[in-house]
Chains A and B, each alone.
Chain A
């Protein structure tokens, strides 16, 4: 009699969308390209943002939607009392509650940052989000490919899209299939 019992446990490894190797992944579309910004340090800050910013990254402007953030530190405004700080070098911060009225969480790997650029960036973005880029919104948070993301510029025809790490795979595959 044939043995119909499975020889191994069900392999669910192939069920999930494969995650690209972010250290080498690049995409070249028609008039745009994409890559992941490597090795950024990240802090999530809640509470008194003015004081937090003065302590953690003095003279760094709060960046809203589509605004240009240049330099090695980005203070990306999520909401009225919440922001994501990204930096090339780690910022000197004690995780936890600060008596001056704000809380800091280490978020180095919690987010992934996609860099998109090129002459046809604008028409790509118009497919990725409904938001009015010229709306001068104080918050960089919006929906990108239907997912919660922070969207801002870093130079002319170049944007960074910060998403929670697991969502980066989804957005990457969205871009691959565009």
Chain B
């Protein structure tokens, strides 16, 4: 089983975590002016890179959302960082 490191809890088993999405996606605003194509692009188009990637993950047991830098080929996690400063 792979270990991920929650910025608050430290290393925990992967079963405690859920993928939250690709990092850096910005929700298009204002909603009434966003075309169906742009919504679709925002919701469904992902980079899905081979190699280094930045993702948002959630540690389900503590509720922390954080940024994870990992490699989609080797599965090596390089960093995990809290999304807030305090």
Q: Which residues of A contact B (CB under 8 A)?
A: 65, 78-80, 82, 130-132, 135-139, 141-143, 148
Q: Which residues of B contact A (CB under 8 A)?
A: 1, 6, 8-13, 15-16, 59-64, 82
Q: Is A139's CB under 8 angstroms from B13's CB?
A: no
Q: What number of A-B contacts does a CB cutoff of 8 Å give?
A: 48
Choose among A65, A78, A136, A141 the residue with the greatest number of B CB atoms under 10 Å from its CB. Answer: A141
Name B61's contact: one of A80, A135, A148 (CB within 8 Å). Answer: A148
Q: Is B13's CB under 8 angstroms from A79's CB?
A: no
Given contacts A130-B1, A130-B13, A130-B15, whether A141 and B61 have CB atoms under 8 Å apart is yes
By a CB distance below 8 angstroms, the chain A residues around B16 are 142-143
Q: Is A137's CB under 8 angstroms from B63's CB?
A: no
Q: Is B11's CB under 8 angstroms from A79's CB?
A: no
Given contacts A130-B1, A142-B16, A143-B15, whether A135 and B10 have CB atoms under 8 Å apart is yes
Give 10 A-B pairs besides A65-B9, A79-B59, A135-B12 with Cβ atoms closer than 8 angstroms: A79-B62, A82-B62, A130-B15, A135-B10, A137-B12, A138-B8, A138-B9, A142-B61, A143-B13, A143-B15
Q: How far is the CA of A141 from the CA of B6 in the complex (A)?
A: 12
| Smallest beta-carbon distance A56→chain B, Å | 21
Q: Is A131's CB under 8 angstroms from B12's CB?
A: yes
Q: Is A79's CB under 8 angstroms from B8's CB?
A: yes
By a CB distance below 8 angstroms, the chain B residues around A135 are 10-12
* A and B contact pairs by CB, cutoff 8 A, 10 listed: A65-B9, A78-B63, A79-B64, A130-B15, A132-B11, A137-B10, A137-B12, A139-B62, A141-B9, A148-B60
Q: How far is the CA of A79 from the CA of B12 in the complex (A)?
A: 14
Q: How far is the CA of A142 from the CA of B16 in the complex (A)?
A: 7
By a CB distance below 8 angstroms, the chain B residues around A78 are 61-63
By a CB distance below 8 angstroms, the chain B residues around A143 are 13, 15-16, 61
